[in-house]
Amino acid sequence: MTRPIRKIVAGIDGIRQGDANVLFPVRRKDEFGAISRALQVMNQSLASAEQSRNSYYPMLRMN
């Protein structure tokens, strides 16, 4: 039971350090799988927001 928790914690640490390419294992159909899926969606949303912010930032600096 500790291996899924360790993988999730490692992924969260990756996100904390700014790694937008963190992938969470979503092979399970239990609570760990549900948490992994939620974290994967959250990380994809964060990466998308960061990409949008980075694309608009240069335009804001020109004004």
- Domain with 10 in it: what CATH number? 1.10.8.500
Q: What is the DSSP string of 5-23?
A: HHHHHHHHHHHHTT-TT--
- pLDDT at 1 (0 to 100): 67
- pLDDT at 24 (0 to 100): 81
- Domain range for 48 is 2-62
Q: Which pLDDT tens digit goes with each residue over 1-58?
A: 688 899 899 999 999 998 888 888 778 899 999 999 999 999 999 999 989 888 887 7
Look up residue 50 and give its two tokens. 């960061």
Count of the separate structural domains present in the chain = 1
**Could you tell me which residues come within 8 angstroms of residue 8 by beta carbon, excluding any fewer than 6 positions away?**
24, 32, 35, 36, 39
- pLDDT at 62 (0 to 100): 67
